[in-house]
Amino acid sequence: MQKRANYVRALGALFALWGADYPAAYEEARAGAIEGLSVPAVPSAPVRRRLENEVLTLGSLAATLPVESLYKPWASASGGDGGEPAQFGAARNLLLGDSAQHMRVLYDGLELDVPPAYEAMPDHVALLTEVACLYAEAGNGEAVRDLVADHLDWLDAYEEALAARLAALEARPLPGAQHHDELAAALAHGCELAGALTRAIHDLSQSLR
């Protein structure tokens, strides 16, 4: 379980912003790869830069973030204490939804602090996979199973969102050919990463049955 959870964590970490240090993150992921699962190729520096600046950064050109709240209804029906439901509870593509609130509860219980850069997205995949790994390190397979079931069940939708971004880009090419090509490669690489992570999570789940 631990090795598989480590690989999931290492893949999740590739969705964080590493800047020039990104090769080491890939190296770690590749070193921990599970046999039979795909291993993401290391992208070129320009492609990785586009991925970080223009895909994995909120408000950027092709922003498509691996944040759970964006792919699920924002709030459950009840407002607590028998109160009225959230006015836009069914909406998606909003940050700090129920998944983020639940993760905060878990972080509090585990005495973990979310860094300021993730204040608006405590349910970012880099954090979710790290918690899964921490549970695995503690030998708590049930908690890993619950976390995967509750919080890592949306990566198909994320991969589809990246693919849709890529299709939209190809339909409306950017004026600069180099920029366009690098961003297209970055989105394709994002799809590759999401696919690899989905498969690694599936593999981890299977191992826990």
Partner 1 sequence: MQEKEALMRCNPTRRTFLKGTAATAALAAVGTCSVTAWQAERAEAAGAKTQGASLCNGCSSKCGLVATTLDGRLWTVEGMEAHPYSKGTLCGRGHGTAQWAYSDGRLTQPMKRAEDGSFAPISWDDAFAEIGAKVQEILAEAGPEALAIVQDPRPSGKYYSKRFMNALGSANVYTHAAACNLSKESGIQEATGASNYSVDFPNTKMVVFIGRSYGDGIRPSSVKSLAGAADKGARVVIVDPRLNNTGIFATDWVPIKPGTDIALLLGIANVLVANDLYDHEFVEQFTVGFPEFAAQVAEYTPAWAEGVCDVPADTIVELAEALAAAAPACAIEPSWRAAFGCAYQNSFETARVVCAVNALLGCWGQKGGALITSSPKVGDVDPAKFPEVPKPTAKRVGDAEFPLALSGTGTNLAVLNGCNDGTVQGVFFYNSNAVQGYAQPAKWREALAKAKLVVTIDVQMSETALASDYVLPECTVLERMELPEFIGGKKHYVALRTPVIDRVHPETKSCDEIFVGLAEACGVGQYFPFTVEELADAQLATVGTSLDAVREAGIVELADPGFQFGTPAFKTPTEKFQFTSAKVAEAGLNPVIGYVPRLVEPAAGEFSLIGGKQGIHSHTMTLNLEALNAISREYQLERLWMAASDAAELGIADGDTVELSSSEASGRVAVKVTERLKPGVLFLPTHYGSTSPYLTRAQGFGLNMMDFIPLHLEPAVGSTMSQEVAVTVRKVED
Window 93 to 132, contacts with partner 1 (CB under 8 A): 93-99, 101-102, 105-107, 109-120, 126-127, 130-131
209 binds partner 1 (CB under 8 A): no
Query: What whole-number distance in Å separates Cα of residue 200 and Cα of residue 20?
Result: 26
d(CA 152, CA 175): 37
Residue 155 as a binder of partner 1 (CB under 8 A): the answer is no
- CB-nearer residue toward partner 1: 134 or 188: 134
Q: How far separated are the first and last CA of the chain, in Å rounded? A: 11
Binders of partner 1 among residues 186 to 205 (CB under 8 A) are none
Distances, alpha carbon 61 to alpha carbons 52, 82, 142, 187, in Å: 11, 41, 39, 11
User: Is residue 53 within the footprint of partner 1 (CB under 8 A)?
Assistant: yes
Binding of residue 57 to partner 1 (CB under 8 A): yes
The CA-based angle 178-184-186, given to 5 degrees, is 100
The nearest distance, CB 176 to partner 1, in angstroms, is: 5
Among 30, 39, 146, 199, binds partner 1 (CB under 8 A): 146
Q: Which amino acid type is present at position 144?
A: V
Among 4, 48, 151, 189, the residue binding partner 1 under the rule CB under 8 A is 151
Closer to partner 1 by CB, 68 or 198: give it: 68
Asked if 74 is part of the footprint of partner 1 (rule: CB under 8 A), the reply reads yes
Going by C-beta distance under 8 Å and a sequence separation of 6 or more, which residues neighbour residue 149? 205
167 binding partner 1? (CB under 8 A): no
3 binds partner 1 (CB under 8 A): no
Give CA–CA dist 12/29, Å, rounded: 9
CA angle 198, 184, 190 (to 5 degrees): 20
Selected binder of partner 1 within 76, 188, 195, 202 (CB under 8 A): 76
